[in-house]
Every structure is written in C-alpha cells, then in structure tokens.
Chain A
C-alpha cells in the first residue's frame, strides 16, 4: 500500500460548482497535512496547512482532516476557471520529509 493515495482524475466541473478533492494515507504517525496547487509549468504553491483533525477554512477553500479514517479533503466553493490546476496533497511525519499524492488535475469550465 502506498503511503499516500490520491485519485489523479482528471476532474472537470462547471464554474460555480463545489469541488471535493481527497487523499488517503496509511501511516498514523503522519501529523501535518498540506494542499498545494500547481499550475501548468509552475512550481507547487502552498494553499492550506493543518495539523489537527477537523476543518480549516480560508476563503473559498476548506481543508478537512479525519485522522481516525486517515482521510484528508480539500473543498473548493464557487469554483472559478482560475482554479483549474493540479492539486497535490502532502503529508508529513516527524521528519522534514513531505510525502505527496500524485495530484488531481482539475478543470473548471466557464
């Protein structure tokens, strides 16, 4: 079993839709959870960072962590064409090493 599993999509939604992106992980020692957004031919950009179970909200983005199920989610409300990108989940344990999912490619159609 891979340490982090992420559905690669692609995912295509109409503008204004609510988007749900998900990852599962296998190691209960993971403590820190991040979501990155990566536009084509750009480096990953940190969107959300959390270390506890529950929800964290930032504008149209909500990160959700369920440590008991080893499941993390990113919700995007009122999605915009500018949200079209690849979204990467990343998880970190006690060391500095980040373990990434493969990324989900999202297209928001106007």
Chain B
C-alpha cells in the first residue's frame, strides 16, 4: 500500500481563520480523497480530487468552504476556510491502492477551532 503523510498532525485555530492541510503520497496515484471524522460520527467523504481537474464535492460540502488543490499525482491540499467550532474534527486523506477497490488512509489532522 502507498505511504501517506499529512501535515500538520494537529492544530488549534481561532474562529474565522483558515487552515491548509497537506497530504503527500510516496507513489503516483490518480485519485485522492478527503474525509472528515467528527466525534461520534462516521467517516464522511468531503470530496474526490483528481489531478488536472476540479475536485468533486459530496452533498453538504462546498468548494468555498473546503477548497482543494491537486497540483500533481503525489500531493493534495485541503483548506478549511472561515473556521467555526463546528469544524473541529479529524481530517483524513486517502488514496486507492493497487487492488481496484482498496482505499488507504493517512494519519489524519486533528483540528480544534476555538
């Protein structure tokens, strides 16, 4: 499976500010995914990011709030914009493995918004 790293591992931010989370994969991958894991809730897909095209957002998530970049086949960023305490969560990036339907996850970014 690919090795996935994320930066930062955690952060505490003030409301109204923005945070950009980086995801780096050790091999080239076509699809990268961003998930949110809120306390007591299921892992929820935010968007799918393919290199060279606009990210595809799931219902309830919009580009203005969660802009995503995918500049190459090994890297992606997710920005959480104009944060509120409701954005406190773990944010995870994910990629598909060599087997067609396996998905692997990074270690996550733990965000607290005050």
Interfacial residues, chain A to chain B (CB-CB below 8 A):
4, 8, 32, 34, 36, 41-46, 49, 51, 88, 90, 92, 96-103
Contact = CB atoms under 8 A, between A and B. Distances in A.
Interface stretch (B13-21, B38-46, B70-78, B80-88): B38-46
A75 B103 CA distance: 21
A36 B92 CA distance: 14
Interface residues of B, number: 25
Nearest to B96: A96
28 contacts: A4-B42, A32-B101, A34-B102, A34-B103, A36-B105, A41-B108, A43-B4, A43-B92, A43-B106, A43-B107, A43-B108, A45-B105, A46-B97, A46-B102, A46-B104, A49-B101, A90-B43, A90-B103, A96-B33, A96-B96, A97-B48, A97-B58, A98-B45, A98-B103, A100-B42, A101-B42, A102-B40, A102-B42
Contact of B101 (A51, A99, A103): A51
Q: Would you call the interface of chain A mostly helix, strand, loop, or mixed?
A: strand
Contacts of A34: 102-103
Given A44-B105, A49-B101, A96 B92 contact: no
Interface string B52-71: 00000010000000000000
B113 to A, nearest CB: 18
Contacts of B40: 8, 102
Interface string B89-114: 00010001101011111111010000
